[in-house]
Amino acid sequence: MRVVLVGPPGAGKGTQAQFIASHLAIPKVSTGDIFRYNVSAGTELGQQAKAFMDRGDLVPDEVTVAMVKSRLAEDDAQSGFLLDGFPRNVPQAETLKKILADWGLKLELVLELVVDHDEVIRRLSGRRTCRKCGRNWHIAFDPPSVADKCDECGGELFQRDDDREETIRHRLEVYQEQTQPLISYYAGEGILLGIDATGPVDDVTERALLALRRFVR
């Protein structure tokens, strides 16, 4: 199963991706997670990406696409994958289509997580991320049992630099300008399905899995 999750920053893509991917036994491929890992490990890729991420801008397409292509070529992605945070603009979507076509494959579904602007701001401003395993928490909506400590792995929780107010505003503009056009692009391809991503996390997961079962054969 080859699926893309799309939606504004804070829509819950990462949160849902971990549950959906484990339910379907396919890898979750999150470009944001891969970039953050590389930034903290100080790799060349991390150095190329850092300034763009800090500003809330997109990392250049050639860097991002090369990284995704090599990730999707790995063994565990051969039976499918769930992309979270990629593609982020129409040129990336076109390139992904070409890469998959060269491998005799295509995307089966693009699942749009639909949440309004105010909810996205509430979610992003309270997000805390585990330094060790990358799991996202929320200070009000999904708090860990001990403040600033990840329940899953005991890692330290921190607020992402790009989750500060100024950068949040810019990332939402970038979403509107560059990523939102993907919605009509994939609608035109006949593979877009939007689901209501408000309400409890489990309810959203249930809606997502239902949609996947209905639309992906």
| 72 vs 98: CA distance, rounded Å | 13
Tell me if 5 contacts ligand AMP by CB under 6 A: no
Tell me if 32 contacts ligand AMP by CB under 6 A: yes
Please give the residues from 94 up to 153 whose contact with ligand AMP meets the rule CB under 6 A: none
Specify the amino acid at residue 213: R
When the beta carbons of 16 and 64 are compared against ligand AMP, the nearer one is 64
Q: Do the Cβ atoms of 86 and 64 come closer than 8 Å?
A: yes
Tokens representing 91 are 């040129």
**Part in contact with ligand ADP (CB under 6 A); list of ranges 57-65, 69-77, 98-106, 198-206:** 198-206
When the beta carbons of 8 and 26 are compared against ligand AMP, the nearer one is 8
Tell me if 31 contacts ligand AMP by CB under 6 A: yes
Question: How many amino acids of this chain bind ligand AMP (CB under 6 A)?
Answer: 18
Distances (CA, A) of 110 to 23, 68, 85, 150: 17, 17, 12, 30
Please report the DSSP string for 121-177 in residue order.
Answer: HHHHHTEEEETTT--EEETTTB--SSTTB-TTT-PBEE--GGGSHHHHHHHHHHIII
Contacts for 188 with CB less than 8 Å, ≥ 6 apart:
none
Find the shortest distance in angstroms from Cβ 32 to ligand AMP: 2
User: Closest by alpha carbon to 106, among 139, 74, 135, 72?
Assistant: 72
User: Closest by alpha carbon to 28, among 18, 37, 36, 38?
Assistant: 18
Contacts for 93 with CB less than 8 Å, ≥ 6 apart:
87, 182, 185, 186
Please give the residues from 165 up to 194 whose contact with ligand AMP meets the rule CB under 6 A: 171
Find the shortest distance in angstroms from Cβ 76 to ligand AMP: 20
Tell me if 137 contacts ligand ADP by CB under 6 A: yes
When the beta carbons of 5 and 24 are compared against ligand ADP, the nearer one is 5
Supply the residues annotated as catalytic: 13, 88, 127, 160, 171
Tell me if 64 contacts ligand AMP by CB under 6 A: yes
Find the shortest distance in angstroms from Cβ 88 to ligand AMP: 4
| 195 vs 211: CA distance, rounded Å | 8
Residues making contact with ligand AMP (CB under 6 A): 9, 31-32, 35, 52-53, 56-59, 64, 85-88, 92, 162, 171
Residues making contact with ligand ADP (CB under 6 A): 7, 9-15, 123, 126-127, 136-138, 141-142, 200-201, 204
